[in-house]
Amino acid sequence: MTLNHVRRGSGSPLLLVHGLGAGWQSWAPIIDDLAEHREVIAVDLPGFGETPSLTGEVSIATLTDSVADFIREQGLDGVSTVGQSMGGRIVLELARRGVGGDTVALDPGGFWSDRELVAFGATLRPSIALVRALRGVLPSLLGNPVARTVLLAQLSARPWALSRDTVLPDVRGLADSPATAAAMDALTKGPKQRGAPAGTVPGRVTIGWGRRDLVTVPRQAARATELFPDAVLHWFERCGHFPQWDAPHEAVRLILDSTS
């Protein structure tokens, strides 16, 4: 399967993988800043954005397969990869498989305890149902700071300070993407993320985590670095689940400094 994607800039390539919901537009707050220094390739995962859904099982493994196939098809062997949330888990899985080069995972999923996983599903599923019910009025609601704060309190440490255009693609994607439900099942019912022993990943691994993340809560960072002992952990202060929303300049610096 060919993944829909956009390319910006020039230089050493950098592959961006979005999380649950929106497609490549999830990276809109930082893609142009990254493209000032690198060739940026941002993909739509299967069933998100403009990429068709998978015809078979939707799982972290099959979504990762689609990105690995894209890397081979595009001649991007050794490309540095960046992912956020579910996309963060996918780029870590690529690294575990030995695919790609340097890896940056922002607030990755897959490192929940059993209790945290139950809480994740119990809180995010109603949020998805709510934005689906409100899809017709999302643009106006997200343009109101009070409504935006109520809707996005789980996702951002400062939703009132964000613009409607920053958050609308991700929220609308949760409501409209054909693969949202199946990907949510893959996260909540599938296996937890496996790790990579020291010295087995193909490049540097950096894991960034928001101190105020209410989706993949900060204590999960310890499990992630235990499973990926080569990883360097970076904390985003006053930041929720989306560093590209809450700390865009810091996210750009981290990505550029952590990849080659």
Domain ranges of the chain: 5-258
Q: Is 16 helix (H, G, I), strand (E, B) or coil?
A: strand
Q: What's the CA angle centered on 245, arms 146 and 154, to 5 degrees?
A: 55
Choose which CATH entry (1.10.1050.10, 1.25.10.10, 3.40.50.1820, 2.30.110.10) describes domain 5-258.
3.40.50.1820
- Cα-trace Rg, the chain: 17
- Give the model confidence (pLDDT) of 2-21 as tens digits: 899 999 999 999 999 999 98
Q: How far apart are the first and last CA of the chain?
A: 27
- Give the model confidence (pLDDT) of 133-174 as tens digits: 999 999 999 999 999 999 999 999 999 999 999 999 999 999
Q: Which amino acid is at 58?
A: V
> pTM for this one?
0.97
